[in-house]
Structure 1
Amino acid sequence: MDLHSVNPWEVSFLREEVGGYFAHGVELAPGATVLDVGANVGVFSAAVYERLGGDVRIYAFEPLPPLYEKLESNGRDFFAGQLKALPFGLAAGEDELDFSYFPGATIFSSSWRDEGNVEAERKRVTASIVEMIRRGGMGPAARRVPAPILRGLVGRQLKVMRDLETHRVRVRPLSPVLDEEGIDRVDLLKVDVEGAEFEVLRGIEDRHWPLVRQAVVEVERWTENRDRVREVFATRGFTVEAVQDPVQRAADIGMVFALR
């Protein structure tokens, strides 16, 4: 799919990432129902759709208006009616939140980033990208560039994170959405919400947890949040794996995989 996007480079970047969600036993069969929480323009949704040959029902959540506009267009143009774009985020309760939106790097947009911490966040992201390059993520030639030079080059590119807009957006708990949409099973719950993942999980009522068969959650501030995200699933009967590779370690993030 040649997806509509705000920045085409982000689609290429995310396409390289999405394969990592289908690991540690995560599998999907035709006819699955998938929730893409933190959808951006729908790259993960596109990967699911392509894997299952279009035999899937996807609910994609994106609260930021510039991204939702692209997501909705992609759903209309490329998913043959199998993707429903929802113009709000998920949280523990009904609310309106200020989200920082980075037009030059939309994938870092978050309710947890603002002018007070954006410089620290930029340094963290820089460290992660440098580590990715040093491990061959952009080919052997880039790998040979000395680390101090790489940090300078990547840091300059990420100056786009200094250009931010604030959007007031709606967030909702997942349980009433499941009721409203008539969703009776969730074959995969994917959560990538740049720091708000625990709040998303808090929005699932006990009566709805049996509907969830698999989940993959990207966890930010790994050391601080890994165990409590893992515990959410472990106490509800899932087999849980919490994993972190060297690139993720540089960014203080990791992945939690939960299977029935």
Structure 2
Amino acid sequence: MSFLREEVGGYFTHGIVCTPGATVLDVGANIGVFSATVYERLDGDVRIYAFEPLPPLHATLERNARDFFDGRLTPLPYGLASREDELDFSYVPAATIFSSSSRDQGNIEAERRRVTASIVEMISQGGLGPVLRRVPLPILTVLVGRKLRVMRRLETHRVKVRTLSSALDEQGIDRIDLLKIDVEGAELEVLRGIEERHWPLVRQAVVEVERWRQNRDAVCAILLTHGFTVSTEQNPVQQAGDIGMVFAIRP
């Protein structure tokens, strides 16, 4: 959990700020680690809408909302996409952060290798302490790969997805001070579900982009077209995993 909180800190760079009274959308909330960080940063003076479609994760998110957020977090039991639909999501019980609509038995081995490369790079930079850093890379790669065999154990859940615009209308949201998107490969789908009438509501956005080389330019183009100043970041760990971050601020 501490590693996840450290990762969340990386969202608040490149000029991204949240001030008391903000409205924040946590798209791809999992159990609410990002939401909890925002809540703590703003001493509870925030309104958070957290989207998590996988039933086991949403149940925990809902419980956390009840127990820790003092009514300031609204957990929503569906994902976001470019249109209303039902999709098969793969849930990884032993490593829930890898759950996704874009992972299945057909590509899970390739995904495991990609995640392994990212974790090995993080360890080689001292990300999990000095002891592991001294392990030779070939051995480290084998050890991490074995640990990530848990990714092979998938559960499939049929879940509902909607457009962000429909959620904004339903919830009566009239401003978005920060739109955070971390949806394990479905970033473009989420952005394409925002109607033109709603884009002016978005003041800032941070998007974690998977398949960086393939999708970065398309994500940036959408945000640039809608009036944002855009910057990107990809550190060596992210580069190993072919992911990166896009930061967008409305001038």
TM-score, normalising length: structure 1: 0.95
- Give the partner amino acid of 1:97: L
Equivalent residue for 1:214? 204
> Shift of residue 182 of structure 1?
0.8
Equivalent residue for 1:192? 182
Give % identity: 75
> Shift of residue 241 of structure 1?
0.5
The alignment of Structure 1 onto Structure 2 pairs a total of residues equal to 250
Does 1:254 pair with 2:220? no
Does 1:231 pair with 2:221? yes
Instruction: Provide runs of 4+ in structure 1 moved above 2 Å.
Output: none
Task: List runs of 5+ in structure 2 lacking aligned partners.
Answer: none
Equivalent residue for 1:148? 138
Equivalent residue for 1:98? 88
SS at match of 1:21: coil
- Give the partner amino acid of 1:62: E
CA-based RMSD of the aligned residues comes to 0.6
Which of 72, 78, 86 does residue 82 from structure 1 map onto? 72
- Give the partner amino acid of 1:204: I
Following the alignment from structure 2 to structure 1, what is the Cα–Cα distance between the partners of residues 129 and 112? 23
TM-score, normalising length: structure 2: 0.99
Q: How does 1:1-260 map to 2 (within 5 A)?
A: 11-260=1-250
Task: List runs of 5+ in structure 1 lacking aligned partners.
Answer: 1-10
Following the alignment from structure 2 to structure 1, what is the Cα–Cα distance between the partners of residues 2 and 54? 20
- Give the partner amino acid of 1:220: E
> Shift of residue 144 of structure 1?
1.2
Following the alignment from structure 1 to structure 2, what is the Cα–Cα distance between the partners of residues 60 and 176? 15
Equivalent residue for 1:8? none
Following the alignment from structure 2 to structure 1, what is the Cα–Cα distance between the partners of residues 110 and 218? 24
- Give the partner amino acid of 1:13: F
> Shift of residue 87 of structure 1?
0.2
SS at match of 1:169: strand
> Shift of residue 243 of structure 1?
1.2
